A and B are shown apart, each in its own frame.
Chain A
Amino acid sequence: MNTKLEYKQTVSWILHLIQQIRQRLKIWLDPVLLEQLRPQLQFQTSVLAGFALLAAILLGLADLATRGVIQQRLQEDLQTNLDQVIPAAMHDNNLLADSVMIDSADAKLGALQTEVYLAKMHGEVKAVCFKFTAPDGYAGPINLVMGIDSNGEILGVRVITHVETPGLGDKIEISKSKWVLSFNGKSLDNLTVEQWAVKKDGGIFDQFSGATITPRKVVQAIHRGLEFYRSHQTELLNSTK
């Protein structure tokens, strides 16, 4: 009984508040009054500041509301990407939970530290995969993920995000073209350094008509990724947790 009364009071109070705000707004947003105010410098400054504040608050709130969700979506994306470059039959552990941080400041992978996910079968490392970046793509950084088996051969490469030209450079995506599959099975051992380049530069990988820079930078980044793996190979393969 008591709560019902309180509820009714709250509702009527809110209605009253809305009524008051409406009346205030009617006075504040009165076209005649605003007509007089608009030429004043103080008014103009406050309006501009007010709109900037409003936009900042809106964006801040939207960021707060979506940050967790976006983070979760990115984790899901990462899981999907890892599954694409490491066959499920090769491991019995949870990749996202089994990783080591490796110092990669000298490897030019776009980050000071790289998180390497370990694919283990019965506790033994069968393959590794990690995210890395080609920082010098045509229109901006290209984020990639690559899986490498214990012999140093590429199991798969996928582009996670990029800002390359739609219709030209975006053929590095698996959904647009099968180009990234041409890296499968390649390693530092079965290709020479010269062969690790696009055809235009004397290598074996296709470039796209209308876009050479994008695939060139991707090939170079993948080569750097393989070198990074080789320099940490023993360390990674022997890591048990």
Chain B
Amino acid sequence: MNLSILFSKPFQKIARDGLWDNNVVLTQNLALCPLLAVTGTATNGLGMGLATMVVMLASNATVSVSRHLIPSEIRIPIFVLLIAALVTLVDIFLNAWMHELHKVLGLFIPLIVTNCVILGRAEAFASKQPVILSMWDGLMMGAGFTLVMVVLGAVREITSQGTLFANASVLLGEGFSFLETTFIHDYKGFLLTALPPGGFIVLGFLVAAKRMLDIKLSAAKKTVTEIVPESVVNGGEL
């Protein structure tokens, strides 16, 4: 396959949507359950984000392949069945062949099923679009999710423990131990950001920052081109 296809218009739009414009967390405000449960540290956020991305890629691919086969009346049970099976497969395989990683992430893998955004993308995108586009969408939505997870995890970890990417070597292998940094030594800790309410508060700041940046950007664009962009598509809600 020619890689230049990834820079074509629809692919670019999907990437923009997934990473920024229609970001799972910041714009659609979905997937908050796993988000707040897991982002105590940046490493956990990264691991959960990557696992979610894999599941989303696979679920979008299978849904898209069988999209002509699935009657709309029973699509939701079939999607749920597929996603649950995929998550279980990821769980089993990680346990067998990446046991160390599973010990870190094992707690969170079943939480992926609760991630409504996977069902949302299957419903809103993969059930109507060709396979390659759907897989790209799953990858990009997953990447956008991972991005927010890591940023949120990093902010919460620094404020609550004074470290960043603690235990990264357990997740990614010894080669990544350089990521583990301690910002504040002998830090007493700020419990609020370690707890779920603190996660909500930090998330609120992130959403606000994104909105502010969007307004600034569109204002700058207006003054340059005098065109109102109609590109903000909210196609992601379930």
SS of B interface (majority)? helix
Are B85 and A58 in contact (CB-based, < 8 A)? yes
From the candidates A43, A62, A70, A210, name the one contacting B89 in the complex (CB within 8 A).
A62
User: Chain A: interface residue count, which band?
Assistant: 20 to 34
Q: A166-B38, A167-B194 are in contact. Are A62 and B92 (CB under 8 A)?
A: yes
From the candidates A55, A170, A210, name the one contacting B85 in the complex (CB within 8 A).
A55
How far is the CB of B32 from the nearest CB of chain A, in Å? 15
From the candidates B69, B82, B96, B107, name the one contacting A73 in the complex (CB within 8 A).
B96
A34 proximity list for chain B (CB < 8 A): 68-69
* A63 beta carbon closer than 8 Å to chain B: yes
B178 proximity list for chain A (CB < 8 A): none
* B44 beta carbon closer than 8 Å to chain A: yes
A31 proximity list for chain B (CB < 8 A): 68
Are B37 and A166 in contact (CB-based, < 8 A)? yes
A58–B108 alpha-carbon span in the complex (Å): 22
Q: A29-B68, A29-B69, A166-B40 are in contact. Are A63 and B195 (CB under 8 A)?
A: no
Q: Which of A14-22, A46-54, A106-114, A189-197 lies at the binding interface?
A: A46-54
How far is the CB of A145 from the nearest CB of chain B, in Å? 15
Are B71 and A44 in contact (CB-based, < 8 A)? yes
A73 proximity list for chain B (CB < 8 A): 95-96, 99
From the candidates B92, B167, B194, name the one contacting A210 in the complex (CB within 8 A).
B194
How far is the CB of B131 from the nearest CB of chain A, in Å? 12
From the candidates A44, A55, A167, A168, name the one contacting B73 in the complex (CB within 8 A).
A44
Size of chain B's interface in residues, with CB distance under 8 A? 34
Are B97 and A69 in contact (CB-based, < 8 A)? yes
Are A210 and B191 in contact (CB-based, < 8 A)? yes
Interface string of B179-194 (1 = CB under 8 A from A): 0000000000001001
* B78 beta carbon closer than 8 Å to chain A: yes
**Would you mind naming 7 contact pairs between A and B with Cβ atoms under 8 Å apart?**
A29-B69, A52-B81, A55-B82, A73-B99, A166-B44, A209-B191, A210-B191
Residues in chain A within 8 A of chain B (CB atoms): 29, 31, 34-35, 38-39, 43-44, 47-48, 51-52, 55, 58-59, 62-63, 65-66, 69-70, 73, 77, 161, 163, 165-168, 170, 175, 209-210
